[in-house]
Each structure stands twice: as C-alpha cells, then as structure tokens.
Structure 1
Amino acid sequence: MNQVVAVMPVFNPTPSFLEDFHPLYAQNFAHFIIINDGSAAKYSAVFETLQRLPNVVVLTHEKRLGKGAAVKTACSYLTRFLKNCQGVLFIGAYGQHKQEDVTRMLHVSRIYNDGIILGVRNFRARELPAFSRLGNSFVTMIFELRCRKRITDVQTGLRYIPMAHIPWIARIPSHDFDVDVYMLMEAVKQQIPIYEVTIGKALMKKNTFIQYDEAFRFRHMAKRIWRYRYMEE
C-alpha cells in the first residue's frame, strides 16, 4: 500500500460512477476520501456502498457548498487525522480520470515529491470543440500574464499535493471551482515547484463535470484570475 491519500469531491454521481470508481480504488491508496457535496437523496445508496469499502471515508455536506468547500473539508480531515501521509491525489468523480492516468501520477509522485504535480489534459484532440481549445488557451494566457508562469492546464482536477502544502491550501479563499486555479497562483507566489504529467484527452460530457469539476467557464475564470487577491503570509 502506498502512502498517498486519494480525495474525490462528488456532487450527484453519474450512473457509471461505481464502475468508474473501482479501478481507481484498486490503486491501493492509504485512504480514499469521498466528499459528498450535498448530492440528492436518491444517490444515498451510492455513498453507503462506498462507506462499506475498506479505507474509504465519506464526508458529507448537507447541501451543496461547491468544490472549493469540498477541498477545504478534505484538507481539514487530512490535517487532523492523516497528517503523516506522504501526499494527496485529487481525482475527478465523473470518469474523466482513468486508471492509467492515476498510475502515472503516482509513479511521478515518487520522483518529484517536492511540489505540485498536475495531470494536464490534451486540448488538441480533434473531437474537442474549437471553442474549448481556444478557451483553454485564453485562460492559460491570462494566468501567464498575471503570474509570469505558463501552465498548460490550470483547471485540471487531477493533481498531486505533498502533505506539507495541505495547511495553506485549506486557507484558499474559495468555495467554488476556481479553487484549482487559485491554488496554482499561490504556489507560484511561494515558488513551489509545479510539474506537469500528460494524461488523457479533455472530455466533454453534458450535465456532468462541466457543471461541477474542471469547468469550461473560460471568460469567468479569466476574470477571477485577474482579480484574485493573494493570501497574506
């Protein structure tokens, strides 16, 4: 068993959720933390099934608070109960991250454990709509102008964080999807190394993670990057 903890924020899991989850669970994480971010009551059976699995912890928000809040809940649990783990791998809940992607991330984390590792998506895939490719390029450009650093995929939800960085990530002033970008802005400011690992192509699924995780709200995200006020030391 490795010393990495998996964290997966979930809002209204898809019908294929459990099927997608089990190959990821098979990676033998030290613990697998599921954040139920206010999912509808009809999904209760899914979370009850997860709770019965060894080393799985389900933390529940009574109502939807947003991905940023889910990240904060996970960070709070980690610092309280699992502070001796090596690091944390955040994984998307809607089938966008495959077993081979997670395996690659875990392998790289054993080599580069001094910084944040991003699983960057392929935005050049032909089947991806042109507006998505252009939108990602736009957000990347705004991030580079603001932070003086180029990152291929600032919104990816697949990312490895060494445990030493979890306390400051818990303080990021966001309760929404922009937590992923703000996390990187703070990391650049603190001169924390950021590594990129190429994973599968960027998936587009209506009514799934576009609405919650790895959002393709490019104009809105660009505004938030430009207006973000850094945390105090």
Structure 2
Amino acid sequence: MVILIPAYEPDRHLPALVRSIRNAAPHAGIVVVDDGSGPAYREVFEDVKSLGCHVVSYARNHGKGFALRTGFGFIADNLPGQDIVCADSDGQHAVADILRVWQRLRENRDVEWGLSTMVLGGRAFTGAVPARSRLGNTATRLLFALATGERIPDTQTGLRGYPAAMLPWLRSVRGDRYEYELNLLLEAKNNGYAIESVDIATVYLDNNSGSHFRPLADSLRIYAPLLKFLASSFTAFLVDTVVFVLLTVAVDSLLLAVVGARAVSSAVNFLVNRTLVFQHGRDKRARSAALRYFGLVAVLLAANVGLIRALEAVAVPALPAKIIAEATLLAVSFAVQQRFLFAAEAGDGTRARRRTHISA
C-alpha cells in the first residue's frame, strides 16, 4: 500500500499524522506532495522526509487536483503495482480509518470487480461540524445525485482508496483544484469503475481552520457544470423572449411566433450546451445529438403543459404553477443531458459492476 498525502502550507498535524501511520503500518509507503508551499514550510517537509516519506515538491501552488495527479505519476514511476489511499494533511483522517479503507481495497481484490472499485471514506456529519462543511457536502451530494442518479453519502471526502489498476485513468481526469475529486466521481461510471463507501469518523480540528478551501472560488469550480447549464438556460430564455417579440411584430400569428421563438432559442441552447457546458458534448456527432436534444425539447414542452395543468387542477395559481413546472423540468433537463445526451462514451474493455455501497 502507498498512502498519498497532498499538502499545501501544512501545520503540525502533518508530521503527527505521518508518525501515527509509521507506528500503525511501518511497511506502508508514504508519498507527500508539497503543492508549492514555499520556503517557510521547508522544515515541515524535511521533518516528514526524515520519517521515511517520499516528498515531491514544486515551486508554485497549483491546487489539490494537480498535487494528486503529480503524486499518482510519482507512484506509477517509482512504486508501481501498489494500491493507493489518499488522505488529507490536516489530521482530520484518523489512522484507523486510513487503514480501514486500505483493508477494504485488499478485501475487494478477492472479488471480480475489486480491481475497478474505488473506496470512499464517508463521514456521517454528526456532532460539531462547521456549517460551511455541512452545507457544502449537502449541496454537492444533491448535485451529484442529479447528474448521475447515484447517491453517495460524502462526495467531498479526501480519504479515498484506489486500486493500482486505476492509475492511468486517475492521471487523465481533468481539474487542478478541489473540482478534481468530484470529476473522478462524475467520470467513474462511464469509465467502468464502481464506487463503494465505508463509514469513517467525522473529525474537524479547530473548526476546520487548517482547510485551504476557498468558499467562493472553489465552490464555483465544483459547481461549474450546473452553473454553466443555468447560464445557458437563461441565455436561451432571453433569446426566446427577444425572437418572440420580433416575430409578433413581423407576422400575424401567435402560434408561429411561439414556435419560431422556441426553435431559435432551442438551437442556441443546444449549441451552447454541446460546445461549452458539457465536457463531452463535442465528442458526440452533431446530427445525432441534435435529434436527441430536440426530442427532449418536445417531451419537456409537453410535460411543461401537463404539469402546469395538473398544478392548476389542485388550485395552484397559474404563475406559481409555471415557476414550479419550469424549475422541476430544468432539473430534469440537466440530468438527462448530463447522463445521456452529452455523457462520456463508456470506457473500453470489460465494465466493472457498478454499485454504491455503505459498510457499517
């Protein structure tokens, strides 16, 4: 086993964590990546190096995703064939939980899908949990379920185990900062990988003061797919409104104005979604993707009318009924486009059995 620890401006918890790992698992390899912490933190990294760690350093901070991929590259070149457990440097992952994730990786080797299953250390978020951490995980968990249809209890956990066979794929996934770990989960299914969760302790030291998570900038990166989709949908709404107004002036037909406006706005929305919103949109053939997209538009339009009528039938006023219908179908549209229309092509080779499991 190799334990990979990305670290940026680490405090006293990093050497303490390494010492605890050394005491509990003296034969485990430990790779620490210095993500551009600078000269002020050289002593900390020298300390862990003296404890037998491999320390990989570079001058400028790039982010957690970049640090993890750098560590994966080092392991592939220098410690090949080893399963990997990633842990954070701030002391919030108990050594017992790190070893528990490793043990689960070892157990999975005895079953056919084990070499293609990542293991997540899932926190229960009970007790004294900082509000931003609780809210952030809830929002990301809901986004992940919307995008994939899968429920994972802790999508933001930094304690993760990966079989050695996953290394080439781990190095190929995009994202230099905190969005990288979410991208791994989003990309796993289409590359034939399963996800399993084991329960771990929820630990926050000093109210999570050691975290380098930037609430605004990093949240924007994590939620970028949904935010881009919402921006694309709003742009389509503006186009639809403008074209509708122009057509009502140019032609003497309300039906033609409505249909023409929707056709133009849908075409714009399709082009934006395919080229800018969904990462794998441009991998799809434009003609077949367009046919599926406009089929979805037709279905959603019919569903919109039906949902509004159903809400009005139970005494919901017209305007609230329209807002509820539009919001509901916007979520459906995002999920369908993310999972099916513009999803990555399935990876080559035998697909692993897909499962999400929570172990007691």
TM-score (norm: length of structure 2): 0.57
Equivalent residue number for residue 118 of structure 2: 116
How far is 1:202 from its partner? Answer: 4.7
Is 1:96 the counterpart of 2:92? The answer is: yes
Amino acid at match of 2:147: R
Equivalent residue number for residue 224 of structure 1: 224
The answer to whether the 8 Å contact 2:11/2:44 transfers is no
Measure the CA separation in 2 of the matches of 1:131 and 1:47: 29
Measure the CA separation in 2 of the matches of 1:29 and 1:178: 32
Equivalent residue number for residue 42 of structure 2: 44
Measure the CA separation in 2 of the matches of 1:24 and 1:216: 30
Any idea what SS the aligned residue of 1:36 has? strand
Any idea what SS the aligned residue of 2:4 has? strand
- Provide closer, same or farther for how the CA distance between residues 135 and 72 of structure 1 changes in structure 2, counting only shifts above 3 A: closer
- How many pairs does the alignment contain? 224
Equivalent residue number for residue 35 of structure 1: 33
- Provide closer, same or farther for how the CA distance between residues 46 and 220 of structure 1 changes in structure 2, counting only shifts above 3 A: same
1:18-64 deviation per Cα after TM superposition (whole angstroms, max 9, x unaligned): 2232112332354210000111312111111222233x210001111
Measure the CA separation in 1 of the matches of 2:224 and 2:7: 23
Greater strand fraction, Structure 1 or Structure 2: 1
Any idea what SS the aligned residue of 2:141 has? helix
Which runs of structure 2 are paired with 1:2-151 in the superposition (5 Å)? Answer: 4-26=1-23, 27-54=25-52, 56-85=53-82, 87-113=83-109, 114=114, 115-123=117-125, 125-130=126-131, 132-151=133-152
Which runs of 5 or more residues in structure 1 are unaligned? none
- Provide closer, same or farther for how the CA distance between residues 141 and 79 of structure 1 changes in structure 2, counting only shifts above 3 A: same
Measure the CA separation in 1 of the matches of 2:106 and 2:70: 26
- Provide closer, same or farther for how the CA distance between residues 99 and 228 of structure 1 changes in structure 2, counting only shifts above 3 A: farther
Amino acid at match of 1:168: W
Higher relative CO (CA 8 A, sep ≥ 6), structure 1 or 2? Answer: 1
Amino acid at match of 1:41: P
Identity across matched positions, percent: 25
1:163-182 deviation per Cα after TM superposition (whole angstroms, max 9, x unaligned): 11111111111111111110
Greater helix fraction, Structure 1 or Structure 2: 2
Measure the CA separation in 2 of the matches of 1:202 and 1:149: 25
Measure the CA separation in 1 of the matches of 2:13 and 2:72: 27
Amino acid at match of 2:155: V
The answer to whether the 8 Å contact 1:11/1:38 transfers is yes
Equivalent residue number for residue 167 of structure 1: 168
Structure number with bigger Rg: 2
The answer to whether the 8 Å contact 1:116/1:193 transfers is yes
- Provide closer, same or farther for how the CA distance between residues 228 and 157 of structure 1 changes in structure 2, counting only shifts above 3 A: farther
Which runs of 5 or more residues in structure 2 are unaligned? 227-276, 281-343, 348-360
| Greater than 6 Å deviation, 4+ residue runs | 215-218
